[in-house]
Every structure is written in C-alpha cells, then in structure tokens.
Amino acid sequence: MIHNVCIIGSGPAGYTASIYCARAQLNPILITGYSIGGQLMTTSEVENFPGYSKGVTGPDMMKELHDQAERFGTEFINTNVKNIDCSSRPFHITLDNGEDILSKSIIVATGAEALWLNLEGEKKLRSRGCISSCAVCDGYFHLDENLIVVGGGDSMCEEAVFLTKFSKKVTVIHRRKEFRASKIMLERAQSNPKIEWKTGYVIEKWLTNDKGDLNKVFLRNITDNSTEEFPCDACFLAIGHKPSTQFLNNQLETDNNGYILHKDHTMTSVAGIFSAGDCTDTRYRQAISAAGQGCQAALDCEKWLEES
C-alpha cells in the first residue's frame, strides 16, 4: 500500500498536521515515536496555549490532540523511524519494528530535545516544575522566587532577562568566565539589576527540601575545586537543544546544528518532504507556533499532492 502522506512525530506540529491532512481526506499515517506527545508530556502546566482559559497539563493537552486526530481517521503507529530513503518516490520509510512503509509525501515533525545536565533526581524535579528548559513556558509559576539560569549563550541571556519579570532574583551560573552570547545580548543581561553572576562554576547535585522541591544546588568551582551550596527555588537550563533529525542521514538540507531548512514555504530541499515544529524552528520553540507550522505543512503537502 502506498500512503498519501506519512507524518513523523507526535508533538503539537505532528498532531496538527495529521488533523488537517485527515480532514482533507488524505488518510494520513502518523508515526508517533517512542516519546509520544513530545516535550509537553513532561510539562506540568500549560497556560499560554489559546483555548485553555484555566490552563491544562501537557499530557492532557496532548491526549486531546491525539483524540482529535484519531476522530478524523488518522492511523497511528507507535514506534520510531529507523531511516527513510529520499532518493525516489514513493518514499521508503523503515521503522524500528522492521515494518516498511511507502508514502507519496512526508511531513517531518520530530521536534528537538532540550539538553539537560542529567544529574541524579533531575527527571523527578523536571516533572515537579523545579527544573525547566523554557522560561516563557514556566517562568510565571515562580513569582517572587530566587531562580538560577545555567548557560552562556544568547538563550541564557533571553531566559535570564525574561525571568526578571517574575522573579525576586536571577543568578546565572556558567562554567566559563567568557560567554558565547552576542555582545548586545550579554550587555542587556549584565545591565539588568536583578541578574547576578557566578562564573567558573558547575552544578554537581540537586538538593531538595522535605517536600521534595528544589531548594539548593551543590556547586563546584572549576578553578580551585572548592564547593558550596547555593540556595534557589527553581533552575532554568539554557544549554541548548538538539533537533531529532539524525534518522534522516543528511538527506535533507539542514543548518550546522541539524535543524531542517525550508526551501519553498514548509517544503524541504527534497520535493514532497515537508517539515514543521521544533526540528526546523530555531527561534520560537512554542507549542502554539509548532501547531501553526504543522497546519502550514499539511496545507502545503495537500497542495503539492494535488499538483503532482
């Protein structure tokens, strides 16, 4: 069987693309991956997605998107894509379970993974909202608290400055004395009176109170190996993201960091293959912008299938 469209990825971009494709009678097949729902499955509260006036948990929102896609006839395969062959059409998709799929078109919506420190107890603290990789998503939940931002690039500067709107104080922790951030971004952060700096330090342990919430970090000075316990209420990691595009084996044009580049609206360098969401978006990285781009990719795909 040759499918009209195969959507790879089950975050907001993938589910939205499948809803639009299904309503267009394209009978889409969606390969969810093993991390069904993507990064939002670890987000405790989502308050900035339109339509949820009282907020919603990440898992609940992803379940509703799944149910909506299923309602219109999307077929789901709960496994990972091992590789795809973009050299000829229909495209040949090989899954981890050994199954092969043929499809006239593909929408890649595999997202990007935030980089974490992966210290002991980190996943549990992430689920409690004590450790985050998105200030826009989670900053509001930490009103008038002492916060930490880890990183040394432009993302660190953006996160730190944004968090000063809510926090009592923001402390930037960076392992080096120098920063990768652009001069203008760094100057903006350094001129903010609510931001303090601890350079030449790394976090080695998360320390919690009796309730299991983060209340300190164990720091080590990389110059003299001295250690200290530094109080905080939450930590935001701004040490980068990694797009989930390795399975493409460089068959689509990407930037130097592996993010898929668009050539014609949402179409990639290979005609018939489209991309949407965090695997291609290096700027916004929001659920709503990913969903919007999933809609665009579905509409572009439908038009391309009609014309071709």
Q: What is the mean pLDDT of each run of 10 residues along the chain (308 residues)?
A: 97 97 98 88 81 91 96 96 95 95 98 93 92 90 97 93 96 96 94 98 97 97 97 96 93 96 98 97 91 98 96
Cα separation, 249 vs 58, whole angstroms = 31
Q: For residue 44, what pLDDT is reported?
A: 67
Q: For residue 34, what pLDDT is reported?
A: 87
Architecture of 116-237 per CATH? Answer: 3-Layer(bba) Sandwich (3.50)
CATH topology of domain 2-113+242-307: FAD/NAD(P)-binding domain (3.50.50)
Question: Do 116-237 and 2-113+242-307 fall under one CATH topology?
Answer: yes
Residue 92, burial from CB neighbour count under 10 angstroms (0-12, 13-18, 19+):
middle
Active site residues: 134, 137-138
Q: For residue 83, what pLDDT is reported?
A: 95
Q: For residue 283, what pLDDT is reported?
A: 87
Cα separation, 102 vs 121, whole angstroms = 42
Let me know: does 276 contact 17? Beta carbons within 8 Å. Answer: yes
Q: Where are the domains of the chain?
A: 2-113+242-307, 116-237
Please list, in sequence order, all residues whose beta carbon lies within 8 angstroms of the beta carbon of residue 148, skipping any fewer than 6 positions away.
170, 171, 172, 173, 217, 230, 232, 234, 235, 236
Let me know: does 201 contact 151? Beta carbons within 8 Å. Answer: no
Let me know: does 198 contact 170? Beta carbons within 8 Å. Answer: no
